[in-house]
Amino acid sequence: MDRKLHRAPCHFSKSPPFRNKPAGISLPSFRFLRSSFLLVLSLVFLSSFLPGCGGSSSPSSPGKNKTIAFAVGGAPNEIAFWERLAKEFESRSGIGVRLIRQPTNTDQRRQGLVLALKAHQSDPDVFLMDVAWIGQFAAADWLLPLSGGLSPVKTKPKELFENVIRTAGTYRNRVVALPVYVDAGLLYYRTDLLEKAGFDSPPKTWPELVEMASKIQRRERARGRRRFSGYVWQGAQYEGLVCHFLEVASSAGGGIVVNGKGLLHVASPQNVRALTFLRDLIRKWRISPPSTYTEMREEEVRRAFQQGRALFERNWPYAWALHQDTESRVRGKVGLAPLPHFDTYPSAATLGGWHIGISRFSDRKAAAGAFVDFVLSPEIQKRLALNLGWNPGRRSTYTDSDVLAKAPHLAALSRVFENAVARPNLPYWPLVSAALQEHLNAALAGRESPEDALKQAEEAMNEIAARYESP
């Protein structure tokens, strides 16, 4: 991968946790308000799955028997893309698609689907799933097998990234989800600002990133840009924090280790080094804003960078196309590189991405299968790459001449994907991840030392694992 500074076009170059009692609200009434809020939210969400209630993007859907419900979330441009696709599919196949719009945040998307699937509702028929929670859905037996003679899907796993299907889309030797797009964490940087400060390539190591970010942040702030930050990344208490922690930890020789008995090990010296580094970005070198641990998720991070308020950004590939938008303040001034590393350890990117699956409770399985084939078809996968800048799950997209000409960075990205670090594929991953998120975030906020945070996380994670692993 080319690490030199690049100008456009790219050459490869997405609330604070309720920890403290809010002022003026007594604890019982606050709890009451919060649970009432959650109840209302759940009802609103469930009602969106009922026929005729909200979320419909196809008022002209053909007969009820031929309409499927598709749950999908994302940034506004992504939802707009799915709306267009749903209409096209309807006009080509005669099968209507009712879009159930979900938020961007992966945890909220999962919770929404869990509500419907636990209740064995027939809607949604088909949905996108984060690689992080396919295992939970498969173990709960909510997903229709997508391989074998009875599958309503014709696309073969070998046409897609088979290794990703093996790592994330397979449960007990059955394919239950197919990759629509693959994600890996990347470093976005401002080519103009690095060059102006005399740096001719993006940072290869984390200490280099600190050095460059400190210098340029000082300059920009001296020019009156008081909200300018050296490095923005996902530090709020949610799945994205675990993703970036895993990247920094792996690039220090650490990571999340699961032994043969399902015991998890995170309290290693390498991981303490990584968490100390992340905390120091905010609290010692102050090149990442304090809002990092209260509100920074994908979209907050992307907006800060896109509004010209940051030098470096950690994000997924989707941010690229948005940074190049005509409205973007950083258009033509963005470079892409692998994330930095420590010492001689290799750079690491967390493997992310979203798979498509069909609900076992769907009453439109054949129609849902046809929709899955449509989304995974060479034509639509190519459009995902060209219109959204996503990394499609279909392998042939990467050798398509239009894609290579208009999105050359995709070819370079495939190397990052090959070495991407997967989160453990455990049916109870969302629970252990939630425990890890809580303690990582407490360390960033300065409430726990990195050592204690990781020790407490490991204990909590293993209590959860023991409940699921014991016969």
Phi and psi at residue 436, to the nearest 5°: -65, -45
Q: Which stretch binds ligand GLC (CB under 6 A): 145-153, 215-223, 249-257, 349-357?
A: 349-357
Return all residues near 378 (Cβ < 8 A) that are at least 6 apart.
394, 396, 397, 400
| Closest to ligand GLC by CB, 210 or 410 | 410
Distance in Å, CB of 240 to ligand GLC, minimum: 3
Which amino acid does the sequence have at 184?
A
Given 90, 130, 220, 458, the residue binding ligand GLC (CB under 6 A): 130
Q: Which stretch binds ligand GLC (CB under 6 A): 134-142, 197-205, 218-226, 347-355?
A: 347-355
Given 95, 100, 131, 165, the residue binding ligand GLC (CB under 6 A): 131
Given 49, 137, 316, 342, the residue binding ligand GLC (CB under 6 A): 316
Determine, following the binding rule CB under 6 A, whether residue 106 of this chain makes contact with ligand GLC: yes
Distance in Å, CB of 298 to ligand GLC, minimum: 6
Determine, following the binding rule CB under 6 A, whether residue 352 of this chain makes contact with ligand GLC: yes
Distance in Å, CB of 386 to ligand GLC, minimum: 19
Q: What is the DSSP string of 382-414?
A: HHIIIII--EESBGGGGG-HHHHHH-THHHHHH
Dist CA 249 CA 273 (whole Å): 8
Q: Give the tokens for residue 445.
A: 């906020």
C-alpha dihedral sign at 12, 168, 151, 99: negative
Q: Which stretch binds ligand GLC (CB under 6 A): 205-213, 238-246, 249-257, 369-377?
A: 238-246
Q: Which stretch binds ligand GLC (CB under 6 A): 21-29, 61-69, 128-136, 273-281?
A: 128-136
Determine, following the binding rule CB under 6 A, whether residue 183 of this chain makes contact with ligand GLC: yes
Residues 405-424 that bind ligand GLC (CB under 6 A): none
Residues 254-293 that bind ligand GLC (CB under 6 A): none
Give the interface size with ligand GLC as a residue count (CB under 6 A). Answer: 13
Q: What is the DSSP string of 86-155?
A: HHHHHHHHS-EEEEEEE-S-HHHHHHHHHHHHHTT-S--SEEEEETTTHHHHHHTT-B---SSTT-S---
Q: Give the tokens for residue 282.
A: 């905010």
Beta carbons within 10 angstroms of residue 321's beta carbon = 19
| Closest to ligand GLC by CB, 165 or 367 | 165
Determine, following the binding rule CB under 6 A, whether residue 240 of this chain makes contact with ligand GLC: yes
Beta carbons within 10 angstroms of residue 59's beta carbon = 7
Give me the residues that bind ligand GLC (CB under 6 A), please: 106, 130-132, 183, 239-240, 243, 298, 316, 352-354
